Structure 1
Amino acid sequence: MDGTTMPRRRGTARLRVLAVLAATALAVSACGLFDNGDDANVSEPGSDDAPEQVLKLSSSNLPIIDPQVVTGGMWLSARGIFEGLVVQNEDGTDVEPGMAESWEVSDDGLVYTFQIRDNAAWSNGDPVTASDFERTYERLFTPEAGETGGSTSGANSYQTATNIKGATDLLDGSSEDFSDVGVRAVDDLVLEIELDSPTPGFLMSLTHPSLLPLHMDTVEEHPQDWQEAEHIVSNGPFAIDRWVTNSSMTLVPNEHYWDPENVHLDRIEIALLEAGTAGAATVPYENGEVDIVALANADIIRMENDPELAEHLRVSEAASYVYLATLRSENPLLEDRDIRRALALGIDRDYVAEVTPDGQPGRSLVLGSVPGYEAGIEVDDDLEESRRLLEEAGYPDGEGFPEINLLAGTSNVDVEAIVDSWRRNLGISAKADTVEAGVLVERRWAVQDDDYVGFYYGSFAGTPNWPTMVSSLWSPQDIKEFSLPAEQWTEYQEIQADTDLSTGERNEQLNELLDEYASPEAHELAALVDEAMSELDEARQEELFKEAAKLREEQHLIIPVLWKDRYFAIRPTIQGLNLRPSSDAYYFKGIHIVADD
């Protein structure tokens, strides 16, 4: 992507993929990233000789697609079932009009006024209005709609870096009046959104699933089952025609969508797979039963080495990152920042990336695809310093150092390579502790026994801008919580689980605990981010975010390891598909299917 500073792997397999992509790029026309221009074998969508436009996909099972709750379903919603005020452009670097045909920004950068299209409609024919957005956002900012947080599964999906005035106050219980929130339907077609402070990434933040509109009359009439096919009303280019739980979903064009000329598919058929079986989708792909599939590491290597399948590979670079998060334990070893630093510096990220087909060395929790990224915020590998820190702590050459555990929900080469790095580089005992995904969710928040210290393994993706990467993903609040000693973390969890407390009371007690026991650096980080979010000068704001990012990395509570590329196998007959470095990866709109040679 333009303006991106990014470490590169130089393995022959990666070079082969890049060569394929470069060759593909030479054939690109203005129609889309993977269009074949004037190829004589290409039929225009809708022409008499065009094939039936049926896109076949597979997905992990989707219990819900509510975009206001963190699940995999919210990303499907964003691909084309619902459409927000704006959408991302082809390469994900900017926004284009969606439900809003235009917008204006006040001179102070605080107020955005959106003009809703007069031909925007829901799948039942109702017009899309500014009130639909206002009512949807009131649901989003109501604490009862879901746990707050915006990061873990089941939480409210709102990203705090969006910075809508009063939104977080309503979510955390500090306010109970939606009229304090900066969202107002001026009339049927004019929506006004006010921010707490100027936010350069605001328009891009509006493409996050949490800000998609819902047909609130339907949600309120069918609060438990509004998402079911017989009830759901959506406003995107596609609507749900059929949804069989644990089996399949069928999407068809929304006949009331405002831009039908760019909706080419007759239907989208999605096979819903049981948990843990999604990786098997490469079998039906190679059998011609699926048109697009996300690839796991082993499949990437195999397809790279297959001359025919290599031509199917597409990659979205630095779309997510892999991290290690500190586990709380009755053993206080990892409450020592120097020990955490020694372990962070002792990871051979180049080695981990080399054995991970979709990985690049990642030394920051900010993705390299963020405009203005600079390596100065990174934590470098430094084996000599790592060994010195361990010796200074009384563990020369790793002697006597407790076994380090790496808790993970899947067995993969990333985890094994990290563990191997610690063993080889530091002489310490380390092991991968692979558990079921549900067990991981429980254990990662628990205080471990005295004989268990280590980290849990995870990955994350978000809108590639500074507010999201520093303020929302591993936010100052998160860092404060991770800096709590084990005893106070136990107390913190007990307060969170106390159902006798109101939301306001609960958050008051939690904040008191953080104020007293969170580390000074975590408080300093919070102050830097607050200053950045209130800064009017964009250049100065970016510098403050970079300073905050560097301070966050230096705490080593959350340790970056890799930036992950996203690999897909996409059948050559699928055209008009544009990969972007976001979790939804691509939009259904614009995709069309050409005749096979």
Structure 2
Amino acid sequence: MSTRSRPAGRSTGRRRSTAAAVAVALALSGCSLFGDDGGNASGTGGDAGSGGADGSDAELAAEQVLRLSSSNLPIIDPQVVTFGMWMSAKGIFEGLVVQNEDGTDVLPGMAESWEVSDDGLTYTFHIREDAAWSNGDPLTAEDFERTYQRLFTPEAGETGGSTSGANSYQSATNIKGATDFLEGATDDWSEVGVRAVDERVLEIEVASPTPGFLLAMTHPSMLPLHMDTVEEHPQDWQEAEHIVSNGPFMIDQWVTNSSMELVPNPHYWDTDNVHLDRIEIALLEGGTTGAATVPYENDEVDIVGLANADIIRMESDPELADHVQIAPSVSYVYLATLRSENPLLEDVNIRKALSLALDREYIAEVTPDAQPGRSLVLGIVPGYDESIEVNEDVEEAQGLLAEAGYPDGEGFPEINLLAGSSNVDVEAIVDSWRRNLGIDAKADTVETGVLVERRWAVQDEDYVGFYYGSFAGTPDWPTMVGSLWSPRDIQEFSLPADVWAEYQEVQADGELSISERNAELAEMLDEHASDASHELADLVDQAMNSADEAEQQELFTQAAQLREEQHLIIPVLWKDRYFAVRPTVQGLNLRPSSDAYYFKGISIAADEQ
């Protein structure tokens, strides 16, 4: 299947303009939570054959070695939001189901079959007889139940979410009782809808009919873990000498901050479709910069994620243009409101003015892997409704500032854009505000660790603005509205700065039990979060509990529109992911998913040169 494709309605023409030239001069890639393979999300499933992307057969190389580079992986625990969870999903672990080649449906994984009850509430998975761990132990339904009990057990830190270090469970998966257990509202495991009926049968109940449930089960959080090893080596179960996995590949060597080597799992159920003898991964500290293409062009790696300037340069090079492949995106770039002692951005009309003044066409023009993103719901979501979009309206934006006492931007405080790396789209965003509103704006680029700390802090009175981020998720309504920038997130962002400071103190209070802490936090949200954020939560709750798919979609659409109208999280771009792929790499299927391809099915053709 061809991978050089884009979502329907997206132009495939090359954009070459003055703006593109600016991109070459300014672009430096950043890192994001889907940063495998050089800053791009990765992962692929199904029974892909060994033929090339064009379906042709090729003579295979004598030794099947795939060479990659990746953002550094401190951990690969799929239950924690990090770069590593995507590497886990590529083929180190395998869940009950995997995604098909185009990411629109699922195929059997550890479960050879499943049934859904007539009311849509109970999924019964049948674990295949030959499912096994890399140490030869049989993989059973109990392994999944024990894994999910670990996933849903609350810790002292953040429980659930989409930020680095959080528990990775996506609430839109909608497993009965899972969120209550995770938040400490109950400690009775029997109230959670996960049950090993016997060694080969796993039963999962959802709280309400959930059309996207099976695709949600392909998320890294739902991968099984060898719990005997996790419990025996709680601090170092992921290290090469201890880790036991169940995917087509297993970790053979892992040199911290340097390299990882994967080899085939001899106990994997489908070894006929595992063609690679070895996968060599160079781990790049601090993410990938444009220099990461140097090893590719020196024939040292076979697949590399491309930064903005690299995309333009390689697509313009007659010898390299055919190496460029596109994974249609499920990622977006957003601006999240920073809390500040200066209450300027607590005014929704000020935030709205800044959103309306963004020239998203121009920002996308200088960002080769992007298109204008006018919603936090990606346009590839089935049933997407353009009515939820935020469209540029400079005249209205200027009028809103004038009504707030800042005609032509006079007297308006400097707006800061806090970012963890220097990006051409960051510069284009601040340029939009300067040009369209006549205000002072600047990019405040800091180290990634500093960004993670400062984005949650209450800023000083002389510092107002947004932080720049990007994330990805399954392109369906429950994920895009219920999990990524969920009602809880919007409630928290709507809190006044002084209340947010108190809220963080409660979050960090080690003297409180999980249930006590969450009860206090819920009380603060009930009292201080905006009315609109509570209305949003009600709409999402109604949608998640609706048994009618059309009604559910309508409720999610209403919720998405209401969320956009708050302008607390401002959409900027929808991003594709560009890869340079050596022609000898066969059987690679790039999908519109958070993990763009699986290792399974890939082979290496003999070099004809």
1:550 maps to 561
Unaligned runs of 5+ in 2: 21-47
Residues 47-62 of structure 1 mapped to structure 2, 5 A cutoff: 50-62=61-73
Query: What's the TM-score once normalised by structure 2's chain length?
Result: 0.92
Q: CA deviation at 1:7?
A: 5.3
Give 4+ residue runs of structure 1 displaced > 6 Å after superposition.
none
1:516 maps to 527
Classify 1:210/1:145 alpha carbon distance in 2 versus 1 (closer, same or farther; 3 Å): farther
| Greater displacement, 370-379 / 264-273 | 370-379
1:19 maps to none
1:26 maps to none
Counterpart check, 1:12 vs 2:30: no
1:471 maps to 482
Report if the CA contact (8 A) 1:60-1:278 is conserved: no
1:394 maps to 405
Counterpart check, 1:421 vs 2:439: no
Report if the CA contact (8 A) 1:319-1:566 is conserved: no
Classify 1:124/1:276 alpha carbon distance in 2 versus 1 (closer, same or farther; 3 Å): closer
Q: CA deviation at 1:317?
A: 1.9
- Deviation string, structure 1 residues 162-201 (Cα, Å, up to 9, x no partner): 0000101011110012121100000000000001111111
Q: CA deviation at 1:332?
A: 0.6
2:453 maps to 442
Q: For 2:53, which of 24, 28, 35 is the aligned residue?
A: 35
Classify 1:272/1:415 alpha carbon distance in 2 versus 1 (closer, same or farther; 3 Å): same
Counterpart check, 1:231 vs 2:242: yes
Q: Distance in 1 between matches of 2:600 and 2:8?
A: 30
Classify 1:550/1:3 alpha carbon distance in 2 versus 1 (closer, same or farther; 3 Å): farther
Q: CA deviation at 1:52?
A: 1.0
Classify 1:579/1:277 alpha carbon distance in 2 versus 1 (closer, same or farther; 3 Å): closer
Kindly provide the amino acid, as one letter, of the partner of residue 108 in structure 1: D
2:333 maps to 322
Q: CA deviation at 1:369?
A: 1.7
Q: Distance in 2 between matches of 1:111 and 1:38?
A: 42
Aligned residue for 2:375, secondary structure, equals coil
Aligned residue for 1:565, secondary structure, equals strand
Classify 1:335/1:550 alpha carbon distance in 2 versus 1 (closer, same or farther; 3 Å): same
Q: Distance in 2 between matches of 1:479 and 1:126?
A: 44
Q: For 1:379, which of 379, 383, 390 is the aligned residue?
A: 390
Q: CA deviation at 1:380?
A: 1.1
1:297 maps to 308
Classify 1:3/1:317 alpha carbon distance in 2 versus 1 (closer, same or farther; 3 Å): closer
Aligned residue for 2:125, secondary structure, equals strand
Report if the CA contact (8 A) 1:31-1:37 is conserved: no
Q: CA deviation at 1:381?
A: 1.1
RMSD, aligned CA = 1.8
Classify 1:594/1:567 alpha carbon distance in 2 versus 1 (closer, same or farther; 3 Å): same
Q: For 1:273, which of 269, 280, 284 is the aligned residue?
A: 284
- Deviation string, structure 1 residues 541-589 (Cα, Å, up to 9, x no partner): 0111111001100100000000011000000100101111222210000
Classify 1:254/1:261 alpha carbon distance in 2 versus 1 (closer, same or farther; 3 Å): same
Classify 1:303/1:215 alpha carbon distance in 2 versus 1 (closer, same or farther; 3 Å): same
Kindly provide the amino acid, as one letter, of the partner of residue 367 in structure 2: T
Q: Distance in 2 between matches of 1:193 and 1:253?
A: 30
Aligned residue for 1:431, secondary structure, equals strand
1:563 maps to 574
Report if the CA contact (8 A) 1:398-1:427 is conserved: yes
Classify 1:56/1:162 alpha carbon distance in 2 versus 1 (closer, same or farther; 3 Å): same
Kindly provide the amino acid, as one letter, of the partner of residue 62 in structure 2: P
Residues 95-110 of structure 1 mapped to structure 2, 5 A cutoff: 95-110=106-121
Kindly provide the amino acid, as one letter, of the partner of residue 605 in structure 2: V
Counterpart check, 1:540 vs 2:570: no
Aligned residue for 1:342, secondary structure, equals helix
Q: For 1:65, which of 67, 72, 76 is the aligned residue?
A: 76
Q: For 1:172, which of 173, 176, 183 is the aligned residue?
A: 183
Q: CA deviation at 1:277?
A: 4.8
Query: What's the TM-score once normalised by structure 1's chain length?
Result: 0.94
Kindly provide the amino acid, as one letter, of the partner of residue 344 in structure 2: L
- Deviation string, structure 1 residues 330-382 (Cα, Å, up to 9, x no partner): 11111000110000000000000000111100000011121111211111111
Q: Distance in 2 between matches of 1:258 and 1:276?
A: 34
Report if the CA contact (8 A) 2:72-2:287 is conserved: no
Aligned residue for 1:114, secondary structure, equals strand
Q: Distance in 1 between matches of 2:51 and 2:204?
A: 33
2:35 maps to none
Q: Distance in 1 between matches of 2:502 and 2:589?
A: 47
Q: For 2:203, which of 192, 202, 207 is the aligned residue?
A: 192
- Deviation string, structure 1 residues 4-43 (Cα, Å, up to 9, x no partner): 66554855359x9xxxxxxxxxxxxx9589434445xx11
1:460 maps to 471
Q: CA deviation at 1:316?
A: 1.2
Report if the CA contact (8 A) 2:156-2:514 is conserved: no
Classify 1:455/1:416 alpha carbon distance in 2 versus 1 (closer, same or farther; 3 Å): same
Report if the CA contact (8 A) 1:69-1:146 is conserved: no
Counterpart check, 1:483 vs 2:499: no
Kindly provide the amino acid, as one letter, of the partner of residue 599 in structure 2: F
Q: Distance in 1 between matches of 2:333 and 2:476?
A: 18
Report if the CA contact (8 A) 1:4-1:373 is conserved: no
Q: CA deviation at 1:426?
A: 0.8
1:406 maps to 417
- Deviation string, structure 1 residues 80-114 (Cα, Å, up to 9, x no partner): 00000000000111111100011100111100000
Q: CA deviation at 1:145?
A: 8.3
Q: CA deviation at 1:272?
A: 1.2
Report if the CA contact (8 A) 2:364-2:370 is conserved: yes
Report if the CA contact (8 A) 1:62-1:73 is conserved: yes
Aligned residue for 1:459, secondary structure, equals strand
Counterpart check, 1:432 vs 2:450: no
Q: Distance in 2 between matches of 1:509 and 1:135?
A: 30
Q: Distance in 1 between matches of 2:67 and 2:289?
A: 14
1:159 maps to 170
Kindly provide the amino acid, as one letter, of the partner of residue 12 in structure 1: R
Q: Distance in 2 between matches of 1:8 and 1:451?
A: 43
Report if the CA contact (8 A) 1:395-1:401 is conserved: yes
Q: Distance in 2 between matches of 1:312 and 1:89?
A: 23
Aligned residue for 1:143, secondary structure, equals coil
1:492 maps to 503
Q: Distance in 1 between matches of 2:264 and 2:454?
A: 43
Higher relative contact order (CA 8 A, sep 6+): 2
Classify 1:151/1:38 alpha carbon distance in 2 versus 1 (closer, same or farther; 3 Å): closer
Q: Distance in 2 between matches of 1:212 and 1:77?
A: 8
Q: Distance in 2 between matches of 1:225 and 1:237?
A: 22
Report if the CA contact (8 A) 1:9-1:360 is conserved: no
1:130 maps to 141
Kindly provide the amino acid, as one letter, of the partner of residue 35 in structure 1: A
Q: Distance in 1 between matches of 2:480 and 2:342?
A: 31
Q: For 2:218, which of 207, 210, 220 is the aligned residue?
A: 207
Q: CA deviation at 1:319?
A: 2.6
- What percent identity do the matched residue pairs reach? 77
Aligned residue for 1:329, secondary structure, equals coil
1:285 maps to 296
Report if the CA contact (8 A) 1:95-1:204 is conserved: yes
| Greater displacement, 474-483 / 364-373 | 364-373
Aligned residue for 2:155, secondary structure, equals helix
Kindly provide the amino acid, as one letter, of the partner of residue 197 in structure 2: V
Aligned residue for 1:176, secondary structure, equals coil
Classify 1:571/1:9 alpha carbon distance in 2 versus 1 (closer, same or farther; 3 Å): closer
Aligned residue for 2:416, secondary structure, equals strand
Q: Distance in 2 between matches of 1:145 and 1:68?
A: 15
1:24 maps to none
| Greater displacement, 121-130 / 271-280 | 271-280
Q: Distance in 1 between matches of 2:484 and 2:357?
A: 24
Q: Distance in 2 between matches of 1:7 and 1:474?
A: 25
Q: Distance in 1 between matches of 2:301 and 2:578?
A: 16
Report if the CA contact (8 A) 1:329-1:447 is conserved: yes
